[in-house]
Structure 1
Amino acid sequence: MKTTRRQFTIGALTAAAAGTMPMLVQAQNGKTIAVLFDGLYSEFWVAGMQIIKDEMKKRGYNVLEAISDKDDNKQFEQVRAMIARKVDGIIIVQTDSKAVIPAIRAANRANIPMVHFNRPPAETDAYSVAVVADNQTIAREAVLHSCRTAKQAGGKYKAAILIGNLGDPNAIQRRDGFQEAVSQFSDTIEVVARIPTEWNADKAFAGLTNALQANPDINFVFTSSDFLIPQVTQALKSANKWAPIGAPNHVVFTGFDGFPTAYELMEQKYMDACGVQNLFYETKLAIDAILQMQEGKKPERILLDPGFAITQENMMEKRGEMWGYALLNQKKSG
């Protein structure tokens, strides 16, 4: 099932990024959902928070929200506070998959449904539901497109991957999807740099800069998250490798997440493909799971967003499902 783009307010997204979001969205039926994120440190999380709030309001729920700033102890206290307020459900983004388990147990004891948004918890006998993207498949399909593009262009390619925090299952799956794709093109593509970023922009920039100095013939780059696009752009420009598709020094470039910047770069012919998480569909899965648990049902522990790869070939067809395109359109329309 696919959910196409929704309208959401740029003013609210801007306020969210600045940390000025209202703590309560009023509604009609008196039921309340807590939305607990570990941070709003990229457009993906800002948009995710706003889409959840908009959808909950549309369905008649109050929304309480809190940000833990990647502090697991602080988030556990936030969960306990929401339990004390007798919320009707919790949607949570945790930093650490193991540290969140006591929060799941506390919610279980209070009989309050808990759904993990975009990041699953570690394996446990405590019950909760996780809505996750099929990171490995999405990454593989996006990188496969770029591999085919490279092969059709001819010549040999030296590849670099910017790897996320390996404490995050999403980062591991994206790395594995990349590897599955390039391994099918070993006659064309050689991976010469595997750059750890820990989801840190400065570390990503330094790592890619060093890789380009050590391997000046790198001409194929995959970033495990679009939030690192500015660092990739800066490093490639410094190495005189920032050029559009068709130019002799074009670096085949693949992203992941579906940021507005990613769509802009595809439109400008600087990015070849991007793996996209369907934030609209993930929000629907999360809210539906909360409602089912409120009715005493037990949905599957893992609910999967298949996502998709947006490419130079299909971007006009698929962009309506891309949250970054929806946000970009809102910005352009004022």
Structure 2
Amino acid sequence: MTESVPVRCPACRREHLYAAPSYPCACGAPVAAPLDPRTAPTAVTHRVWDEQWIAVDCPACGRRAHWPQPELDCPCGTVLRIPVARAGAERTAPTGTEAGAGAQPWSDAGPAAPDDPAATAPPRSTARPDAAAPHTASGAEAEAASGARARPPVPAAGPSHGPEQRRGVFRPVAIRTARDAVTVAALYLRWLGYPDVRRADQRPPHGIGLAARGMLAQVDPTACRASVRDVECLWLTAMTESAGCVYFSLTGYAPDARDRADSLGVPLFVLGPTGTPLPANGPARDLAGTDPH
């Protein structure tokens, strides 16, 4: 277990006992940010990309990975950023030079954070973006009308290991916020064999887009079920990049979205509150290697 440190809120002066959450390293060992009890916490008033994630070395294998900056929600409404010891952690966001220009890459064990979930996960509504959606919808409808058999895109480079190989047990992270949902999706993609997860260059109509070599993913942490158009947009975007795709939803999928995903071969996962992605269709069971057949 990680060591607990006393934390005093600078706004209401209330004292808390805080322990940093632990996350699973690629080697399977738990990793927790080393806290600095000698430094006072600070109130989060404005979120900056570089301040959302810190680099921590795994105590078991020495692998350096990026994990969420420890934070605590005080009952008074103040969000506290918990200081970490510089000897064991370093606040640094991965740069584009580590995994290719133009991308905010994630390390082998964790993601470079999206912006504030309230900003990156806009509320669902009937209004749709007018920039790319008309073209994607018409393309999908034309493909369906043509009667051609839909095939999922072939990834440019497959995962580092397949379902048939042993990859250990996935270690979930409890989902309480939209940011947790993105973290779980990133960890699951790494568990599937895509270590170079980063935020996608193109933002999807809903939720947050993730990308890895040969794979695109959409994480939808909103309270509405994913629609058939959401699935089609993801699939068509993956087609243009010659990549595979996978959809993660916190709420689930509309019946017609499931049917369309089955015909296109798009894996659908539902993010449970315990942090375990649950396959919602046949392609997802195949991808996860849990197909009973």
TM-score by length of 2: 0.31
Structure that is richer in helix per residue: 1
TM-score by length of 1: 0.28
Higher relative contact order (CA 8 A, sep 6+): 1
